[in-house]
Amino acid sequence: MAAKPQSLRPLASLLRPRSAYRCQQHQQQPQFRSYSAAPPGARLNGTVNYDTTSILNHTSKTALSNPELPENVRTGPTKSINLYTAVNEAMRHALQTDERVLVFGEDIQFGGVFRCTMNLNEDFGTERVFNTPLSEQGLIGFAIGAASEGMRPIAEIQFADYVYPAFDQLINECAKMRYRAGKTDMHCGGLVVRMPAGVVGHGALYHSQSPEVLFTHVPGLRVIIPRSPIQAKGLLLAAIACNDPCIFLEPKILYRAAKEHVPVGGYTLPLDKAEILKTGSDVTVVSYGTPLYTCEAAIQKAEKDLGCSVELIDLRTIYPWDRETILNSVRKTGRAIVVHESMQNAGVGAEVAATIQEGAFTRLEAPVKRVAGWATFTGLAYEQFVIPDVARVYDAIKKIIEY
């Protein structure tokens, strides 16, 4: 390439990307908090070790010890699978046991973007597992019609970021159908809308959103977010059997990262009950989905440094959510922190915090705190800095203890 004229070199130097140089500077002098749960070179002040986290069941014994599982399942076999395989197995079981179940969406015949529907088309045929046109409002409209005729449709939105064109169908048709049906008893029970959601590290503006709170303003819908393979399988089967239409958001970063022992047979888990993952006496931390792993790492460090005892609760279903479990915990601990990946403004944390203020105000030792995504869209280069990390959750625990 010919050399640039001398007069253009200063301009070229100004236009040259400097991100690599800044990264080199950062690597030479790593900045991290002394209480970070990971060494200085670690990303995000702590990378989750999915091989050791207590949130996942690393043995068959721990998986089958869950008291929520049916007795016949607790005495059966398990196998170690990741989350997308658990989702696949749930749909496979539903297709095998209920002829009313249909599975459809954009490109799902070859397995979908995340391979959640692998081999379902080959095993159950194109009449029950099939592709749809690239129209979210169209495929949700079809799902509503199928559900109103007694089918159990499982509709896949390729990314949660793409669901917005279907809002009119979901809110004005799906959620309201039972309210206007009168004596016909027509409703959309059995309809499940699956969608991958959340940050994955390189999703940028259109593949990283967590829109769950937008659905929590809609009576008639259930909104569910699993944290692990065993939860994904049980909650998805429960959603398919439920007589309310369900929005089922799957944390896509966990599709392959989260792996644990899962019962081989079919089973359901309660859609209306939060789960206490760890008991504690000084602080209640409420979360759901991927941030639970961040919370666990922060709690371990905080308990070691501060000598406190922290209770960790997974909401699982964020609408309608289990108020009683949360209130009972906060009445015991006197302190509450709500953590979620979606934006803080008008988020799930705001509703949980308001409910705690109303139902447990006299037992509070400190104001309820929220640790959530910043109120901004997620640019590619800054994706990991928008969501809660270990340091932010640790800060919240430290401040609420010292209040």
pLDDT at 379: 78
DSSP state of 185: -
The DSSP element (H or E) to which 367 belongs, if any, is: none
CA–CA separation, 247 and 216 (whole Å): 10
CA torsion 294-277-326-239 (nearest 10°) is 90
pLDDT at 43: 44
CA–CA separation, 316 and 29 (whole Å): 40
The CATH number that domain 35-52+273-402 falls under is 3.40.50.920
CA–CA separation, 374 and 389 (whole Å): 12
CA–CA separation, 327 and 311 (whole Å): 12
Contact of 266 with 234, CB cutoff 8 Å: no
Tell whether the torsion through CA atoms of 387, 388, 389 and 392 is positive or negative.
Answer: positive
Residue reference for tokens 């440094």: 305
Contact of 160 with 197, CB cutoff 8 Å: yes
pLDDT at 390: 93
Other beta carbons less than 10 A from residue 180's beta carbon: 10
Per-residue tokens: 347: 């988020």
Contact of 230 with 57, CB cutoff 8 Å: yes
> Known catalytic residues?
136, 207
Sheet of 336-343, strands arranged across: 275-278, 310-314, 283-287, 336-343, 369-373
pLDDT at 377: 87
Chain-centre distance for alpha carbon 233: 14
Contact of 268 with 298, CB cutoff 8 Å: no
Q: pLDDT tens, 84-111?
A: 999 999 999 999 999 999 999 999 999 9
Q: What's the predicted TM-score (pTM) here? A: 0.88
Please work out, in degrees rounded to the nearest 5, the angle formed at the alpha carbon of residue 352 by the alpha carbons of 347 and 354: 100
CA–CA separation, 310 and 397 (whole Å): 9
Please tell me the number of Cα atoms within 13 Å of 348 on its side-chain side.
32
Residue reference for tokens 């509503």: 144
Rounded alpha-carbon distances, angstroms, from residue 19 to 15, 24, 219, 383: 12, 9, 46, 15
Contact of 373 with 198, CB cutoff 8 Å: no
CA–CA separation, 61 and 51 (whole Å): 16
Residue 373 three-state SS? strand
Q: Any bridge partners for residue 337, and if so which?
A: 285, 369
Averaged over successive runs of 10 residues, the pLDDT of the chain (403 residues) comes to 48 42 45 45 60 95 96 96 98 98 96 95 97 96 95 97 96 90 76 94 83 95 98 98 96 96 97 97 98 96 97 98 98 98 96 98 98 88 86 96 96
Other beta carbons less than 10 A from residue 46's beta carbon: 23
CA–CA separation, 360 and 281 (whole Å): 15
Per-residue tokens: 117: 């529907």
Q: pLDDT tens, 312-347?
A: 999 999 999 999 999 999 999 999 999 999 999 999
Contact of 251 with 300, CB cutoff 8 Å: no
Measuring CA to CA, which residue among 41, 84, 37 is closest to residue 294? 37
Chain-centre distance for alpha carbon 397: 22
Main-chain phi, psi angles of 50, to 5 degrees = -70, -15
CATH homologous superfamily for 66-263? Thiamin diphosphate (ThDP)-binding fold, Pyr/PP domains (3.40.50.970)
pLDDT at 183: 64
pLDDT at 47: 66
Per-residue tokens: 307: 């000598």
Extents of the domains making up the chain: 35-52+273-402, 66-263
Same fold, 35-52+273-402 and 66-263: yes
Measuring CA to CA, which residue among 16, 20, 36 is closest to residue 28? 20
